[in-house]
Amino acid sequence: MASIKMRAKITDGVTTVKVLISHPMDTGLVKNKKTGKKIPAHFIQEVVCKHKDTTIMTANWGAAISKNPYLSFKFKGAAAGDTISLSWVDNKGEKDSSDIAIK
Protein backbone atom coordinates (compact mmCIF):
# COMPACT_ATOMS: atom_id res chain seq x y z
CA MET A 1 0.00 0.00 0.00
CA ALA A 2 1.90 3.06 -1.23
CA SER A 3 0.01 5.82 0.56
CA ILE A 4 2.87 8.31 0.86
CA LYS A 5 4.15 10.65 -1.85
CA MET A 6 7.12 12.64 -0.61
CA ARG A 7 9.72 15.11 -1.88
CA ALA A 8 12.68 16.65 -0.10
CA LYS A 9 14.86 19.40 -1.54
CA ILE A 10 17.74 21.30 0.02
CA THR A 11 18.24 25.00 -0.73
CA ASP A 12 20.82 27.18 1.05
CA GLY A 13 21.22 24.62 3.85
CA VAL A 14 17.48 24.32 4.53
CA THR A 15 15.65 21.13 3.56
CA THR A 16 12.00 21.45 2.60
CA VAL A 17 9.96 18.25 2.92
CA LYS A 18 6.57 17.98 1.20
CA VAL A 19 4.30 15.00 1.86
CA LEU A 20 0.92 13.87 0.53
CA ILE A 21 -0.71 10.92 2.33
CA SER A 22 -3.63 9.00 0.83
CA HIS A 23 -6.00 8.23 3.72
CA PRO A 24 -9.79 8.56 4.23
CA MET A 25 -9.44 10.39 7.58
CA ASP A 26 -13.03 9.54 8.62
CA THR A 27 -14.20 11.37 11.76
CA GLY A 28 -16.78 8.83 12.87
CA LEU A 29 -19.48 11.53 12.72
CA VAL A 30 -20.53 11.19 9.05
CA LYS A 31 -23.43 8.93 8.05
CA ASN A 32 -23.43 6.61 5.05
CA LYS A 33 -26.09 8.05 2.72
CA LYS A 34 -27.34 4.61 1.69
CA THR A 35 -27.51 2.86 5.09
CA GLY A 36 -27.93 5.84 7.44
CA LYS A 37 -25.29 4.34 9.77
CA LYS A 38 -22.25 6.30 10.88
CA ILE A 39 -18.99 5.57 9.08
CA PRO A 40 -16.53 4.36 11.78
CA ALA A 41 -13.69 6.68 12.73
CA HIS A 42 -10.53 5.96 10.74
CA PHE A 43 -7.79 8.58 10.95
CA ILE A 44 -4.01 8.94 11.22
CA GLN A 45 -2.90 9.44 14.80
CA GLU A 46 0.85 9.90 14.47
CA VAL A 47 3.25 10.94 11.72
CA VAL A 48 7.01 10.68 12.35
CA CYS A 49 9.81 11.90 10.10
CA LYS A 50 13.45 10.93 10.65
CA HIS A 51 16.79 12.00 9.23
CA LYS A 52 19.77 9.73 10.02
CA ASP A 53 17.77 7.89 12.73
CA THR A 54 17.03 11.23 14.46
CA THR A 55 13.38 12.26 14.75
CA ILE A 56 13.05 15.70 13.17
CA MET A 57 9.26 15.98 13.24
CA THR A 58 6.36 14.27 15.02
CA ALA A 59 2.74 15.19 14.37
CA ASN A 60 -0.06 13.90 16.60
CA TRP A 61 -3.27 14.12 14.61
CA GLY A 62 -6.94 13.57 15.34
CA ALA A 63 -10.16 13.21 13.39
CA ALA A 64 -10.21 16.91 12.41
CA ILE A 65 -7.51 16.50 9.73
CA SER A 66 -8.85 16.45 6.16
CA LYS A 67 -8.93 13.50 3.78
CA ASN A 68 -5.61 12.84 1.99
CA PRO A 69 -3.61 15.22 4.22
CA TYR A 70 -0.76 17.38 2.91
CA LEU A 71 2.17 18.18 5.18
CA SER A 72 5.15 20.46 4.61
CA PHE A 73 7.99 21.41 6.94
CA LYS A 74 11.61 22.61 6.88
CA PHE A 75 14.73 21.70 8.83
CA LYS A 76 18.48 22.32 8.81
CA GLY A 77 21.43 19.95 9.07
CA ALA A 78 20.91 17.66 6.07
CA ALA A 79 22.88 17.21 2.85
CA ALA A 80 21.89 16.25 -0.68
CA GLY A 81 21.72 12.46 -0.91
CA ASP A 82 20.78 11.96 2.76
CA THR A 83 17.74 9.81 3.41
CA ILE A 84 14.47 11.03 4.94
CA SER A 85 12.08 8.45 6.42
CA LEU A 86 8.42 9.15 7.10
CA SER A 87 5.90 6.83 8.74
CA TRP A 88 2.32 7.03 9.99
CA VAL A 89 0.03 4.95 12.21
CA ASP A 90 -3.77 5.27 12.33
CA ASN A 91 -6.39 4.50 14.99
CA LYS A 92 -7.01 1.03 13.50
CA GLY A 93 -3.35 0.03 13.73
CA GLU A 94 -2.73 0.39 9.99
CA LYS A 95 0.58 1.98 9.07
CA ASP A 96 2.84 2.88 6.19
CA SER A 97 6.34 4.29 5.69
CA SER A 98 8.49 5.68 2.92
CA ASP A 99 12.15 6.65 2.43
CA ILE A 100 13.53 9.14 -0.09
CA ALA A 101 16.84 10.79 -0.81
CA ILE A 102 17.13 14.57 -0.46
CA LYS A 103 17.76 16.31 -3.78
Q: Residue 39, SS3?
A: coil
| CATH T-level assignment (fold) for domain 4-101 | Immunoglobulin-like (2.60.40)
Average pLDDT over residues 64-88: 96
Confidence of residue 1 (pLDDT cuts 50, 70, 90): low
Pairing of strands 83-90, 14-21: unpaired
> Closest Cα partner for 71 from 80, 82, 83, 84?
84
81: left (phi over 0), alpha (psi -120 to 50) or beta: left
Judge whether 68 and 23 are in contact, CB under 8 Å: yes
What is the share, in percent, of the chain residues with pLDDT greater than 90? 97
Confidence of residue 70 (pLDDT cuts 50, 70, 90): very high
